[in-house]
Copies of this chain bind each other. A is one copy, B any other.
Amino acid sequence: MDKQHHITPEQYELLVTHAQIGRTINGLAHDVNNYLGVIMAYAELIDAESNLNPDCQRMIREMTDAVELSSRMLDTLTTISLKNSERIAQCDVPELIDGVAALFSYELNLNRIDVTKNIDLKHITLRINEPKLQRIFMYLVVAAIEIAKESKCSSLLLSAYEQDQYVTLSVGLPGIDLGFQVSQGLFDSFYTFPDSNRMIVGLESACELAASLGGELTVDKQHGLQVVLDTSNLPGELSQD
């Protein structure tokens, strides 16, 4: 690790703890998905084989919805954790944004940060390495949440828009000028806010990941943290959904 990595022992311990927990996610997701599969199958069987009243039928539907929502969160984390996958797939951008945002809904609620979305794309799918793009977007969301907490900003704006051959996914912090943070090294490996112990990791990795997709991480006054993808650089063109 090079000179950029300044980190206190407490921050290091937290990073390592999180890394160890993150390392277990594939196994956890696999096991919990198996249990969810059991629940789903039996809920459907009970519904089919028993003469349930309308109230109980509604409960069965809510159970299967709960299984699906849980399963989706676990799947997003599993996809993100795919190591060095070079698989190129059709990636539905609004779905990707929703999936990543769902991972943080609890933390956002807890910190009273509202999320609004603004998706303005003619083509909503990209032919791209989806785990990488999810990971980049996750890093941007994490960074934005930390900045929002630090600066008492109470909303995030997740947006996606197209201009010429560029598709941009951004995480905006309305009213916050990120110029200061950028000048202080926001894109280094470990950015620590000057007034607190709060730390942002991963933006350096996000830059590298973006570059590997032929894109770039930028900061825009209006849109906040963003990843700009040059679709003429992607392995396939934009495709109509």
Contacts of A14 in B (CB 8 A): 83
Determine whether the beta carbon of B63 is less than 8 Å from that of A205: no
Q: Of residues 192 to 233 in A, which have CB atoms within 8 Å of B's CB atoms?
A: 201-202, 205, 208-209
Q: Is the interface of A mostly helix, strand, loop or mixed?
A: helix
Interface residues on chain A, size class: 35 or more
Say if the beta carbon of A142 comes within 8 Å of chain B: yes
Q: Of residues 29 to 76 in A, which have CB atoms within 8 Å of B's CB atoms?
A: 30-32, 35-36, 38-39, 42-43, 45-46, 49-53, 55-56, 59-60, 62-63, 66-67, 69-70, 73-74
Determine whether the beta carbon of B69 is less than 8 Å from that of A24: no
Closest 7 CB pairs of A and B: A18-B22, A27-B106, A21-B22, A22-B22, A35-B66, A42-B59, A18-B19
User: Which residues of A come within 8 Å of B, CB atoms?
Assistant: 1, 5-7, 9-10, 12-28, 30-32, 35-36, 38-39, 42-43, 45-46, 49-53, 55-56, 59-60, 62-63, 66-67, 69-70, 73-74, 77, 80-81, 83-84, 102-107, 110, 135, 138-139, 142, 189, 201-202, 205, 208-209
